[in-house]
Amino acid sequence: MLETEELKKVFKGKTAVNGVNLYMDKGESVGLLGPNGAGKSTTISMISSLIKPTSGDVKLKGQSVLKDPGIIRNVLGVVPQEIALYEELTAYENLKFFGRIYGLKGKELEAKIQEVLEIVGLKERQKEIVKTYSGGMQRRVNMAAAMLHEPELLIMDEPTVGIDPQSRTHILDTVRHLNQEKGLTVLYTSHYMEEVERLCDRVYIMDHGQIIASGTKDELKSILSGEETILIDLDRPYPDLVTDLQSHDGIRQTIETEKGLKLIVPKGSKLLGSIFQVAERHQAQILNVNVKVPTLEDVFLHLTGRKLRD
Amino acid sequence: MGNFLKKDILVLLRDRTELMILLLMPIILIAILSFALRGLLGGETSDFHMDVAFVIEDDEQQGIVEFIADLENTGMPPEVVLELEHAVEEVKPYTMLEQLMESETVSDMVTVAELDFSEAEEALENEDIVAILTIPEDFTYRSLQKMLLNEGDGSDLLITVKDYGSIRTDAFINMIDRYVSTMNFETAISQTLIKLGHEEVLSGSEGENIEAQELGGVESISAREPVTSFQYYTISMAVMFVLFVGSAIASKAYVEKKQHVFNRIILSNQHPIVYLGGKIISASFISFFQLFILFLVSSLVFRTFPLDEPAFWGGIAVIAMILAICVGGFAALLTAVTVKYENDALNHIFAGGIVTLLAFIGGSFFPTSEMPAIIGTMGNWTPNGAALTAFLKWMQELDMNVILPYLLRIAVLSVILIASSILIFPKRRSV
Ligand SMILES: Nc1ncnc2c1ncn2[C@@H]1O[C@H](COP(=O)(O)OP(=O)(O)OP(=O)(O)O)[C@@H](O)[C@H]1O
Ligand SMILES: [Mg+2]
């Protein structure tokens, strides 16, 4: 349905996106992952015809979006990373305005507005002014506005930041439902790995303006098939211990987490004993140890050397 | 478009600060300026009063008889003689002076007593009066000779005052000066017109004023309705503050761009021109309503304009409409620049400087008649100045022909503004 060909964007000598090729089939749900500044939003803006690529093209059903932005605009819904709403208007007034610029009117518009408000769970508070909403509620209206006109392709750029877990689950389930039952094609950018795991069939991982890995969730995880993750909870941080472990033979990566440490080690390596020894040496108190198969988060870490969220 | 208009109005209505600037501030200023600068226009001068004496040595009736008798002896063709005899009826110099003194504006300010010279001198000595105006013998006869036939030296009016340079005497001398220049001016016109063979104008008082504007712009004070300071400042504040709608709308466009709502609109596949058109319509509508509200409130609170004259309000509406479209043009140009460069500096410059400058040149703070002529001329080329003049002239004369040139200027400017905004506005994408 959609593909990009060597998309590139240079902002005043700074390359934000550098030769991105990705595709989406109709009805697919695709995730786009990458750390801050990777170029995700820029890629999305080029796909949705909001900014002009420095080079490369976007093709929708084989036609160039660059030549005729109209073709993608007609089928597209975008949830921007920013809150793109009139702050002084109520949720209802916003949706009414955005619905009408898409040519909806009358009863149909009214029904649609109530439907999307239901999805984002703001039906009761629709007559309140957006400025007075909490950040999470504003995000929800921001999403609702992109779904009014029943787009074939929904692009969401970190749509759930700041939304409480319950509403988030509800929204994700709805998007998943639209994707599976109605054949809505979804491109989803998020920092929440579990969202992408839940929602997306296929994932692109992006860093420094380039796609560094892609495939189904299982394909990506198999990149780390030879590894496992050891989570160690400690009573407090031990910086020296980290340094020691980092130089320890056989441990591929040592990352500090909130609770303690995360180690990536070759599968089947019997390292636990020596890790305990090192910990002993530093008089570190180990509260809990957990050995896991890799997650997408780990894949991401492996590929970029960075955590998704700081 | 209706959708855009509704949204823009809603957004503006929720913005208290902007509403205060657009509606409350002009009303306060109308009140302040009107009270403070009352004297400047001579409209409401009830607290400024003077007594003067006229000493009449002339006999108007006899002067006219003599003049006509002379005419019939000159050997001019009888049509011309007849025409001139008619003309005499229109320009009887003393009658015109009397009318001036009895006119609403002047009679509020000046009380005239007819005295003989010695009585007048005594009154002046006792400071019962501030000035004596002597109308010399043969004043009528000689004035007519000069005015209609350009023969002789005309006649002088003699003003005797006690304390030269006081405000009252100055005002009176001024008034008589203006009367004299009006007479001289009408002399110039009648003679020009006789030369041009344009006889009808001599008898039609309506035609006079139009010609007057073009021939030299000396104001004829006799024919006009006076303008009160409330009227003046209601109009001048309205034409000034209406300009702020332009920058208000454009700064909303800046917010739309900044907060990515503009992107949403573009993504809906609306042509960018529709967006720009929406701004023009919104700004025009809002401007028109703002003008309407200001005129209405001023009329209700200060009784500035009579509310029961549909013809008067019809003309006011036409001028307001054209001015409002011009503000739509300003809004469009400012929006185009703001959205293109994603920078609202120009809005600030416009609201913070350009409007004030336009308002000053256009006579919103002081009537341009009090300023050098060049400013008056320039002022009539600003949209607000041209509208101000059009409003004033409409108020006084209720004649569309008189205000048409001003409306045309505003319309031309609107077209220029809108055309350049279309050229500047980004066509397909934002980058
Ligand atoms: N309009 C712009 N002008 C100049 N540089 C820009 C512009 N937009 C983005 N960039 C730069 O391009 C790079 C990619 O930005 P982009 O917003 O696409 O990243 P992102 O992956 O969406 O990051 P995040 O997760 O923080 O949203 C960044 O280094 C950013 O500074
Ligand atoms: Mg982003």
Indicate whether B353 and B212 sit together in one domain.
Answer: no
Domain range for B318 is 2-42+227-424
Same fold, A2-221 and A226-293: no
Check residue B7 and give its pLDDT. 92
Most confident of A185-194, A263-272, B368-377: A185-194
Answer yes or no: is B338 within a domain. yes
Amino acid A128: pLDDT:
95
- Judge if B13 and B153 occupy the same domain: no
**Domain spanning A226-293, CATH architecture:** 2-Layer Sandwich (3.30)
B270 neighbourhood in chain A, CB within 8 Å: 101
Cross-chain Cβ contact B259/A76 below 8 Å = no
In a domain, B121, yes or no: yes
B185 and B164 inside one domain = yes
Within this chain, do residues B321 and B394 fall inside the same structural domain, yes or no? yes
Reading chain B (431 residues) residue by residue, the pLDDT tens digits are 788 999 999 999 998 888 888 988 898 888 888 777 665 554 444 456 788 888 888 888 888 888 888 888 877 777 778 878 887 887 788 888 888 888 777 777 788 888 888 888 888 888 888 888 888 888 888 888 877 777 777 777 787 777 665 667 767 777 777 777 777 656 655 554 444 333 333 333 333 333 322 222 223 333 334 677 788 889 989 999 999 999 999 999 999 999 999 999 999 988 888 899 999 999 999 999 999 999 999 999 888 888 888 888 999 999 999 999 999 999 999 999 999 998 889 999 999 899 999 998 888 877 766 667 787 788 888 999 999 999 988 887 788 888 899 999 999 999 999 999 999 998 765 43
What is the pLDDT at residue B203? 32
Is residue B55 in some structural domain? yes
User: What are the tens digits of pLDDT across the range A162-188?
Assistant: 888 888 888 888 889 889 988 999 999
Give CA–CA dist A219/B37, Å, rounded.
83
Tell me the count of A-B CB pairs closer than 8 A: 70
Judge whether B393 lies within some domain.
yes
> Which residues fall within 8 angstroms of residue A307, CB to CB, at 6 or more apart?
A35, A255, A297, A300, A301
For Cα atoms B28, B31, B32, give the angle at the middle one, nearest 5 degrees.
Answer: 85
Whole-number pLDDT of residue A185? 95
CB contact under 8 A, B14 and A51: no
Across-strand partners of A229? A264, A292
B26 and B130 co-located in one domain: no
Q: Are residues B360 and B378 in the same domain?
A: yes
B338 to B127, B335, B383: CA distances (angstroms): 66, 5, 22
Q: Which two tokens stand for residue A70?
A: 């109209």
Is residue A268 over pLDDT 60? Answer: yes
Parallel/antiparallel/unpaired status of strands A227-234 and A286-292: antiparallel
Q: Where are the domains of chain A?
A: 2-221, 226-293
Distance from CA of A176 to the nearest CA of B (A): 24
| Nearest ligand to residue A46 Cα | 1
Shared domain for B302 and B350, answered yes or no, is yes
pLDDT value, residue B1: 72
How is residue B416 written in tokens?
């220029």
What is the pLDDT at residue B219?
A: 30
Q: How far is CA B94 from CA A201, B101, B143, in A?
A: 101, 11, 10
- The A-side interface with B (CB below 8 A) comprises 48-52, 69-70, 73-74, 76, 78, 80, 82-89, 93, 97-98, 100-102, 129, 145, 149
Q: Compute the residue count for chain A.
A: 310
H or E segment at A148?
none
pLDDT in tens, A121-139: 899 999 999 999 988 889 9
CA separation for the pair A266, A226 (Å, rounded): 6
What is d(CA B355, CA B378) in angstroms, rounded to the nearest whole number? 15
CATH assignment of the domain containing B67: 3.40.1710
Q: What is the pLDDT of residue A90?
A: 96
- Please answer whether residues A33 and A302 qualify as being in contact, where contact means their C-beta atoms are separated by less than 8 angstroms: no
Q: Judge whether B15 is closer than 8 Å to chain A, CB to CB.
A: yes
- Cβ-contact B25, B248 below 8 angstroms: no
Q: For chain B, first and last CA: distance in Å?
A: 25
CB A265 within 8 A of CB A250: yes
Same domain, B84 and B12: no
3-state DSSP call for residue A204? strand
Average pLDDT on A75-79 reads 93
Complete edge-to-edge strand list for the sheet that includes strand B110-114: B110-114, B50-56, B131-135, B158-161
Is residue B287 situated within a structural domain? yes
Report the residue of chain A nearest B265, measured CA to CA.
A101
Of the candidates B320, B355, B339, the one whose C-alpha atom is nearest the C-alpha of residue B244 is: B355
Q: Which residue, A195, A232, A239, A237, is CA-closest to A217? A: A195
**A8 CA distance to ligand 1 middle (Å):** 13
Residues of chain A above pLDDT 90, percent: 44
The Cα B17–Cα B22 span in angstroms is 9
| Positive or negative torsion for Cα B298, B300, B303, B308 | positive
Between B25-36 and B229-241, two packed helices, what is the crossing angle to 10 degrees?
150
Question: What was the ipTM of the complex prediction?
Answer: 0.79
> In sequence order, what are the beta bridge partners of A7?
A20
Q: Which amino acid is it at A218?
A: D
Structural domain ending residue among the three candidates B223, B253, B286: B223
What are the counts of helices (DSSP H) followed by strands (DSSP E) for chain A? Answer: 11, 15
Q: Is B428 on the interface with A (CB under 8 A)?
A: yes
Contacts (Cβ under 8 Å, ≥6 apart) of A229: A262, A263, A264, A265, A291, A292, A293, A294, A295, A298
Residue nearest to atom 18 of ligand 1 (CA): A39
Q: Atom 6 in ligand 1: which residue has the minimum CA distance?
A: A11
Number of domains in chain B: 2
Residue nearest to atom 3 of ligand 1 (CA): A11
Provide mean pLDDT across the span A56-76.
Answer: 90
Residues B146 and B234 in one domain: no
| Rounded mean pLDDT, A14-25 | 93
Q: Whose CA is nearest to atom 30 of ligand 1?
A: A37
Contact B325, B415 (CB under 8 A): no
Q: For A197-228, write each residue's pLDDT tens digit.
A: 888 989 998 989 999 888 888 787 777 667 78
Supply B315's token pair: 């003309």
The whole-number average pLDDT for the span A30-41 is 90
Return phi, psi of residue A233, to 5°.
-95, 130
Higher pLDDT, A95 or B179: A95
A238 pLDDT more than 80: yes
Among residues B196, B223, B250, the one where a domain terminates is: B223
Q: Report DSSP state, residue A162.
A: T
In a domain, B14, yes or no: yes
Last residue of a domain, one of B199, B223, B247: B223
Pick the residue with more confidence: B180 or A5?
A5
- Three-state SS for chain B is CHHHHHHHHHHHHCCHHHHHHHHHHHHHHHHHHHHHCHHHHCCCCCCCCEEEEEEECCCHHHHHHHHHHHHHHCCCCHHHHHHHHHHHHHHCHHHHHHHHHHCHHHHHHEEEEECCHHHHHHHHHCCCCCEEEEECCCHHHHHHHHHHHCCCCCCCCEEEECCCCCHHHHHHHHHHHHHHHHHHHHHHHHHHHHHHCCCHHHHCHHHHHHHHHHHCCCCCCCCCCCCCHHHHHHHHHHHHHCHHHHHHHHHHHHHHHHCCHHHHHHHCCCCHHHHHHHHHHHHHHHHHHHHHHHHHHHHHHHCCCCCCCHHHHHHHHHHHHHHHHHHHHHHHHHHHHHHHHCCCHHHHHHHHHHHHHHHHHCCCCCCHHHCCHHHHHHHCCCHHHHHHHHHHHHHHHCCHHHHHHHHHHHHHHHHHHHHHHHHHCCCCCCC
Contact B161, B52 (CB under 8 A): no
Clarify whether residues B24 and B154 are in a common domain: no
Confidence (pLDDT) at B165: 58
Let me know whether B266 and B238 are in one domain. yes
Which of the four CATH numbers 3.90.1150.10, 3.40.50.300, 3.40.50.2300, 3.30.530.20 does domain A2-221 have?
3.40.50.300
* Residues 6+ positions from B328 with CB-CB distance below 8 Å: B246, B279, B280, B281, B282, B283, B284, B287, B414, B418
What is the structure's pLDDT at B195?
A: 42
Q: Domain check: are B215 and B242 in the same one?
A: no
